Amino acid sequence: MGINQSLAHLSDSGSSSFSEEKSQRFDNAITEESNNEPSDWCMHVFGSFLSVYETQWEYQYGSLPTGKFIVFAESIDPNGLNRVLKHCHERIQLGNSWPPQMGELWVLRDALTSEELLDSRLRVLSRKPENKLEKWLIQNKLYDLSRVAENKLDALFKKYYLEAKRLEERGELKTELVEYALPSHSVKNLNDLQREEYETRHGKALNPRIQKIINEKKLKS
């Protein structure tokens, strides 16, 4: 009788423990599911794209935001959303009526629209930078940009802008010191001024370290 009571007690205890564990897992599952529910902002972002692409958007992304789209939507602010929507309208005008893939949405979030690129290019060419990146373009690329043919200007500016953007992302975007400030009428770039400064201090002779390397090569040959 005592043994049976002990077994019954153990059985009740095990059953209770299992039930508690099962209940805990269920609660955790509910919590995780609720955490993945789209916010009001996410629904606004999703609805904005849906209004542009209508059934094509629903065909590609479904009728409600899920998974990766929720992560994307929470990563952008109103300015970022407007930028991506402008990209979408530009794509449609060029004949591409299908919504961007998820990876493209992330790229378009940070990429300048054609209108933004044009505005930035005008500021650079008129020497009126709005940010450090444009200041770098004026100091390092204006000479080339001001001399390229008009039909190649857009592609060249986009190339230089992306170069500056990569430098900025790596923390390597350096702008000149005040002593190298270029006057608005100057046709020289930063490299020209630095070379002239070196020649003023050292003449046109080669840097002693470089001259030493050349001399050593001559001796070996």
Same domain, 70 and 125: no
Give the pLDDT of residue 111.
Answer: 86
> Which residue would you say has higher pLDDT here, 137 or 177?
137
Structure confidence at residue 210 (pLDDT): 63
Q: Does the pLDDT at position 66 exceed 60?
A: yes
- On whether residue 98 sits in a domain, the answer given is yes
Q: Is residue 207 part of a domain?
A: yes
Q: Do 105 and 136 reside in the same domain of the chain?
A: no
**pLDDT tens column, 134-144:** 999 999 999 99
Count of residues in the chain = 221
Place of tokens 């002239």: 196
Q: Which domain holds residue 103?
A: 40-110
What is the distance between the alpha carbons of residues 221 and 217, in angstroms, rounded to a whole number?
6
Q: How far is 12 from 205, CA to CA, in rounded Å? A: 95
Q: Which of 161, 77, 88 is nearest to 124 (CA)?
A: 161
Mean pLDDT of the chain: 78
The whole-number pLDDT of residue 77 equals 93
CB 99 within 8 A of CB 53: yes
Is the residue at 33 inside a domain?
no
φ, ψ dihedrals at 132, nearest 5°: -65, -35
Q: Return the closest-CA partner of residue 99 out of 38, 48, 41, 52.
A: 52
Q: Name, in order, each residue with C-beta under 8 angstroms of 64's C-beta and a sequence gap of 6 or more.
A: 38, 46
**What DSSP designation does 184 have?**
T
Residue 99 and residue 120 in one domain: no
Q: Is residue 181 part of a domain?
A: no
Structural domain count of the chain: 3
101: how many CB neighbours lie within 10 A of its CB? Answer: 10
Instruction: Identify the pLDDT of residue 5.
Output: 52
Same domain? 44 vs 106: yes
Distances (CA, A) of 153 to 113, 114, 145: 16, 13, 7
Judgement on whether residues 165 and 193 belong to the same structural domain of the protein: no
| Whether the predicted pLDDT of 192 surpasses 80 | no
Burial of 1 from C-beta contacts in 10 A (0-12 / 13-18 / 19+): exposed
For residues 1 and 30, give the distance between their C-alpha atoms in angstroms, rounded to a whole number. Answer: 43
Domain assignment present for residue 31? The answer is: no
The verdict on 45 and 94 lying in the same domain is yes
Residue at a domain's end among 56, 90, 110: 110
Summarize the confidence of residues 28-55 as an average pLDDT.
78
